[in-house]
């Protein structure tokens, strides 16, 4: 790989062994935070590389005050792995894909897509939502790795979870918006699901499923909150008939050429990890 320190490449290939307790936690709550998934050297390297690429590819020119709620929440840049070989090494990392596979309890993990989510200084809150509203995927065997590229304090807008809320049906039909924030917040208020709001240490990563409700607070600091994410799906995931316009868009954008009812195996959905003997 060009211009990637050897220690960074080596670390990304080292397996991260989950305990049965951690797998059980994820199965019950559909989120988990794991410490020391990335080394300080990996975080430092990719903070610089991904920041440069986000600056290069960002097309947002309006000030925060002139954007809607979604636009205030973050700068969003998709599929950076196709733009930079160094970022591809992170997105394709066997270390991360194995964690995703073990949490989903599948034979392997295939890439859905990646995205950088940079919350600017004074950036707004990210409303309550469930990611899988956007995805034309047949099952809930999905997991998103949320990778901060620095330590994230409570005043910077860390990811928040409603633990176990993947069982709630109401609110799944809502895109990220003020409406989703208000409706889902009211729904969660009358449930027993724990609202988990915690800072992220350097190298700590969270993993969450497509249907668990989550949000993030505003960035009240003068520093950019830099986060890289990778979305994984079961290696045997099939495309379902889209249920809304956003799923139609995701079909053609992130699963080009996939056929409804068949496994997704497009050129931009590579298999990243597999237990071939399962």
pLDDT tens, position by position, 186-219: 999 888 899 999 999 999 999 999 999 999 999 9
Give strand pairing partners of 273.
109
In this structure, what DSSP letter does residue 181 have? H
Q: Round to whole Å and give the CA distance between 32 and 9.
A: 25
What pLDDT score does 276 carry? 83
pLDDT tens, position by position, 17-51: 999 999 999 999 999 999 999 999 999 999 999 99
Check: CB of residue 98 under 8 Å from CB of residue 15. Answer: yes
Please, is 211 exposed, middle or buried when counting C-beta atoms within 10 Å of its C-beta (0-12, 13-18, 19+)? buried
Percent of the chain topping pLDDT 70: 99
Check: CB of residue 92 under 8 Å from CB of residue 278. Answer: no
Q: pLDDT grade, residue 83 (50/70/90)? A: very high
Check: CB of residue 206 under 8 Å from CB of residue 159. Answer: yes
Q: Looking at the domain that runs over 20-254, which CATH code has it been given?
A: 2.60.120.620
Domain boundaries of the chain, sorted by first residue: 20-254
* Count of Cβ atoms closer than 10 Å to residue 24 Cβ: 12
The answer, yes or no, to whether residue 1 has pLDDT greater than 60, is no
Check: CB of residue 136 under 8 Å from CB of residue 252. Answer: no
What pLDDT score does 190 carry? 80
Check: CB of residue 101 under 8 Å from CB of residue 142. Answer: no
Q: Do the strands 214-216 and 126-129 form a parallel or antiparallel pair, or are they unpaired?
A: antiparallel
Check: CB of residue 270 under 8 Å from CB of residue 93. Answer: no
Q: Round to whole Å and give the CA distance between 221 and 225.
A: 9
Q: What is the pTM of this model?
A: 0.97
In this structure, what DSSP letter does residue 179 have? H
pLDDT tens, position by position, 159-186: 999 999 999 999 999 999 999 999 999 9
Check: CB of residue 67 under 8 Å from CB of residue 242. Answer: no
The answer, yes or no, to whether residue 157 has pLDDT greater than 90, is yes
Closest listed residue to residue 23, CA positions, set 102, 100, 95: 102
Check: CB of residue 146 under 8 Å from CB of residue 227. Answer: yes
What pLDDT score does 278 carry? 60
The answer, yes or no, to whether residue 10 has pLDDT greater than 60, is yes
């Amino acid at each position: 790989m060009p211009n990637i320190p050897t220690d960074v490449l080596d670390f990304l290939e080292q397996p991260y062994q989950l305990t049965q307790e951690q797998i059980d936690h994820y199965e019950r709550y559909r989120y988990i935070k794991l410490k020391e998934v990335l080394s300080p050297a990996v975080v430092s390297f990719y903070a610089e590389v991904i920041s440069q690429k986000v600056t290069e590819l960002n097309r947002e020119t309006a000030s925060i005050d002139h954007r809607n709620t979604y636009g205030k929440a973050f700068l969003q840049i998709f599929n950076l792995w196709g733009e930079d070989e160094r970022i591809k090494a992170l997105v394709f990392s066997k270390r991360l894909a194995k964690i995703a596979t073990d949490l989903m309890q599948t034979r392997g993990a295939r890439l859905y897509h990646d995205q950088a989510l940079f919350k600017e200084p004074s950036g707004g809150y990210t409303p309550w939502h469930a990611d899988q509203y956007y995805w034309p995927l047949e099952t809930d065997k999905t997991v998103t790795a949320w990778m901060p590229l620095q330590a994230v304090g409570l005043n910077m807008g860390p990811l928040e979870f409603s633990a176990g809320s993947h069982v709630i049906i109401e609110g799944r039909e809502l895109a990220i918006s003020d409406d989703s924030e208000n409706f889902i917040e009211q729904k969660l208020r009358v449930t027993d699901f724990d609202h988990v709001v915690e800072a992220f240490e350097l190298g700590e990563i969270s993993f969450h499923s497509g249907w668990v409700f989550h949000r993030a607070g505003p960035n009240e600091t003068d520093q950019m909150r830099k986060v890289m994410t990778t979305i994984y799906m079961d290696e045997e995931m099939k495309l379902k008939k889209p249920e809304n316009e956003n799923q139609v868009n995701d079909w053609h954008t992130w699963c080009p050429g996939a056929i409804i009812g068949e496994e997704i195996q497009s050129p931009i959905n590579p298999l990243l990890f597999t237990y071939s003997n399962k």
